Amino acid sequence: MSGPADERRAVGERRWLWPSLALPGVLWLVLLFLTPLYAVFAVAMGSPDPIFGGALPAWNPLAWNPGEFRTILGELFTGQLGIVFLRTLVYVAVATFLSLLIGYPVAYYVARHAGRWRVLVLMLIIAPFWINYLMRMLAWVNLLSTDGYVNQALMFVGLLDEPREWLVGKHSTVILGLVYGYVPFLILPLFAALDRIDPRVIEAARDLGASPARAFFAVTLPLSSQGILAGCVIVMLPMFGDYYTATLLSGSPRTNMVGKLIEQDILSGAGSGRGAALTVVLMVFVGILMTYYLYSVARASREART
Amino acid sequence: MVFHPRERSPWRRPMSRREVLGLMAGTAVAGGLLAGCGSGASSASKLAIGTRENPVEQPLFDDNPAVKSGLEPEDGPLRVYNWADYINPAVLKGFTKEFGNEVEVTTFYNSQEALQKLRTGKISFDIFFPTQDDLPKYVAGKLLQPLNHDYLPNLKKNIWPTLVNPFYDRHSRYTTPYVTYSTGIGWRTDMVSTDVASLENPWEVFWDPEYKGITGLYDEYRDALSVGMYRSGLKSVNDATPDDLAKARDNLLELPDLMEIRYTIDGAYSRLPEGNLGLVQAWSGDTLLALQYVPEGGDPSVLRYAWPPKATRDKAGGAISNDCMAVLANAERPVLAHAFINYFLETEIGLENMSWLGYQPPQKSLDPISMVDKGLVPETLTSAVVAQEDFEMGQITTQLTTEEDSRWIETWSRVQQGG
């Protein structure tokens, strides 16, 4: 008679056990993600401190003042701000695509052909992280100056007849900076995905008569799609918030990204509400894009498998 | 990036500039945003904002007295809260040698960050470096303690009378001057053939397409928008109307395509001497600091500085400002802090500091001519030295009301959106 009751208890315990394993993660999210996020929202819905100039956040939803959101949305749909969002999107898309173009062969080489050099090559890919991102960007400022090494090298090999003015607000320079800065983040997840592919699967494709190219496109590429997806998301998210690459490599309003506008609002006292509202709008914008992107890629990879 | 003048300019060593930027990337934005979180509603009443026409005495409070006279300096270490790279380390060592007390420097990168941290009341430093326009906030928040002038004989002895009794802090109740600087135009004669200083309205040179690709303005809203106003002949930047701001905005919006303008933080002290830019908006202190950034084999005599617009009888001239030293209300070593300030008001110490920082102390014995004679400043940059008369004629950036400030920031955001 007691058998079924014990079983029920055991099932009940297990029901309680598994979700509880997620508890630390949930606490972490609440403490370190949702709370600050609500703080940003409260600052956006608040008002500037009339005496000290900083933000007076509106913690109580009844005290919310959507004025800053109205301003930002107005600028977004009728003003120039929409162009800045579009520019940010194009920069990020092009830079991610180029990163993939550069990163995939590297990851492929390391995973499948690097042999005993593998650890060394991986170390070299990570090595730039030992130097601060901004320091590396400042190095680019010197390299790209009119009489810098980049112009000298390009003129030496005959690609340029006269020095190119890289630093006067060129879109290409900013995209180059983004690609340079973020490409290692893409290589690592790609490497992990390619490394996991069983070489026998590819061998099987070759044995069954597929050409190397066919084997790559029919087997390797679809099997690495999760790595491509992860890598792209990992580089796209920080690129959307990037506020210093364009500032250092260009400094022209022609190439400003949304992150720069947020930064300058937030650092100037009475603008923190504006900056916080812009942050929330950017998050929603990126959130929609990412949802769509993840959904469509997931569907594509499902179709590729079937 | 947005900075106060002091938070960015004197990055003397390249490494240090990078450290600063690196730290900023991580902390400044988060700090600036979250800074708002801790503060409840302001309890302080009205701010005492002085102007040249209406000088103010900063209020005293019964519960915030000055330290008593005749006490011996406490034992160290002395704790200094300062802008990053805004003090010559050699001078601090000199203080330690003379007083036998270690000095610990903690730095901040943004005045908003400093204000919010000090307002928590949880951190305690002895010395702080406010800017004159921020002073009313610090006094209203009772973050500073009144100074006891008995400990500061060098103030009256060495400092310009106009800054011993400044309009923003009559009788120097809370502050003494630290360094002073003007905001003008820096250029290189080998890249810019126009004699900028002799133009009718020198600021118009930023719209001269001949200098396309080599011009830069500060990436700071008050400074950059002022240039937009100067171009239209508007001179008093502290009381800009919405119309004035619109004019400034429209003027600045021409610059990206017309001039390929660049908004930078290091234009004057680094990109100008290195020859990446030829014509920049410049603080006088940055222009003198630029001398240390001239590359090997470069010619420092091509650097020039002008400080328009000229003052007329009824209108103040170009922008000028002054940064201060103060003792914090919760200082644990107030007497030692006074000794430190007094030490910095020595002429020799101020000069030693300037030799590293580029920014000059407002010392009586230093005027443009004597500084050139002593070889401290090249003759070609005499105009980058601020004289007491300049300080009396110049226009001083004062704190805006929150409403005005929001309007400036919105305008600035529009300028940075381009198009």
d(CA B202, CA A232): 49
Domain boundaries in chain A? 79-268
Q: What is the pLDDT of residue A270?
A: 84
Q: Which residue has the higher pLDDT, A17 or A256?
A: A256
Report the chain A residue with the minimal C-alpha distance to residue B29. A263
DSSP for A33-57 reads IIHHHHHHHHHHTSEE-TTT-SEE-
Alpha-carbon distance A244 to nearest alpha carbon in chain B (angstroms): 7
* B4 in contact with chain A, both atoms CB, cutoff 8 A: no
Of A46, A51, A276, which is closest to B137 when you measure between CB atoms?
A51
- Surface of B (196-235) touching A: CB under 8 A: 213, 216, 219, 221
Q: What is the pLDDT of residue B396?
A: 87
Q: B415 vs A253: CB contact, 8 Å cut-off? A: yes
Q: B256 vs A254: CB contact, 8 Å cut-off? A: yes
* B28 in contact with chain A, both atoms CB, cutoff 8 A: yes
Testing the interface with A: which of B255, B276, B417 to mutate, by most A Cβ within 10 A?
B417
- Surface of B (46-65) touching A: CB under 8 A: 47
> CA–CA distance from B388 to each of B235, B321, B381 (Å)?
21, 12, 17
Q: A54 vs B44: CB contact, 8 Å cut-off? A: no
Alpha-carbon distance A80 to nearest alpha carbon in chain B (angstroms): 6
Radius of gyration of chain B (CA): 21
Q: B410 vs A261: CB contact, 8 Å cut-off? A: no
Testing the interface with B: which of A43, A69, A77, A264 to mutate, by most B Cβ within 10 A?
A264
Helix axes A35-44, A272-305, angle to 10 degrees: 130
pTM confidence score:
0.87
Residues constituting chain A: 306
Q: What is the pLDDT of residue B375?
A: 86
Q: A53 vs B402: CB contact, 8 Å cut-off? A: yes
At B1 the three-state DSSP class reads coil
* B137 in contact with chain A, both atoms CB, cutoff 8 A: yes
Residues B31-65: tens digit of each pLDDT: 444 444 444 334 445 788 888 888 899 999 999 99
* B295 in contact with chain A, both atoms CB, cutoff 8 A: no
Helix (H) or strand (E) holding B303: strand B303-306
Mean pLDDT for A236-248 is 92
User: Taking CB atoms and an 8 Å cutoff, what residues of chain A touch B3?
Assistant: 267
Task: Fold for A79-268, please state it.
Answer: MetI-like fold (1.10.3720)
Q: A264 vs B2: CB contact, 8 Å cut-off? A: yes
Q: Has residue A255 got a pLDDT over 90?
A: yes
Residues A97-132: tens digit of each pLDDT: 999 999 999 999 999 888 889 999 999 988 888 888
Q: Mean pLDDT, chain A, as a whole number?
A: 89
Alpha-carbon distance B263 to nearest alpha carbon in chain A (angstroms): 5
Of B25, B406, B413, which is closest to A48 when you measure between CB atoms?
B406
DSSP for B348-365 reads HHHHHHHHHH-PBP-BTT
Alpha-carbon distance A101 to nearest alpha carbon in chain B (angstroms): 28
Q: Are B145 and B67 in contact (CB under 8 A)?
A: yes
Q: A247 vs B219: CB contact, 8 Å cut-off? A: yes
* B414 in contact with chain A, both atoms CB, cutoff 8 A: yes
Q: Are B238 and B398 in contact (CB under 8 A)?
A: yes
User: Taking CB atoms and an 8 Å cutoff, what residues of chain A touch B419?
Assistant: 80, 83, 253
User: pLDDT truncated to tens, each residue of chain B (419 aa)?
Assistant: 334 444 443 333 333 333 334 344 444 444 444 444 444 334 445 788 888 888 899 999 999 999 999 999 999 799 999 998 899 999 999 999 999 999 999 998 888 888 888 988 888 899 999 999 889 999 999 999 999 999 999 999 999 999 999 999 999 999 999 999 999 999 999 999 999 999 999 999 999 999 999 999 999 999 999 999 999 988 878 889 999 999 999 999 999 999 999 999 889 999 999 998 999 999 999 999 999 999 999 999 999 999 988 777 777 788 999 999 999 999 999 999 999 999 999 999 999 999 999 999 999 998 888 889 988 899 999 999 999 988 888 888 888 888 899 999 999 999 999 87
Report the chain B residue with the minimal C-alpha distance to residue A276. B33
User: Taking CB atoms and an 8 Å cutoff, what residues of chain A touch B84?
Assistant: none
Testing the interface with A: which of B11, B42, B112 to mutate, by most A Cβ within 10 A?
B112
* B415 in contact with chain A, both atoms CB, cutoff 8 A: yes
Nearest to B305 by CA among B258, B269, B253: B269
d(CA B181, CA B326): 19
Residues A168-214: tens digit of each pLDDT: 889 999 999 999 999 999 999 999 999 999 999 999 999 999 999 99
Sign of the CA dihedral B82, B408, B26, A180? negative
- What is the maximum span of chain A, computed from C-alpha positions, in angstroms? 93
User: If pLDDT is split at 50, 70 and 90, which confidence band does A17 have?
Assistant: confident
Burial level of A302, CB count in 10 A (0-12/13-18/19+)?
Answer: exposed
Question: Pairing relation of β-strands B78-83 and B103-108?
Answer: parallel
| Token duo for residue B141 | 């928040």
What are the residue ranges of helices labelled H in A252-271?
258-266
Of A48, A146, A254, which is closest to B402 when you measure between CB atoms?
A48
Q: What is the pLDDT of residue B22?
A: 39
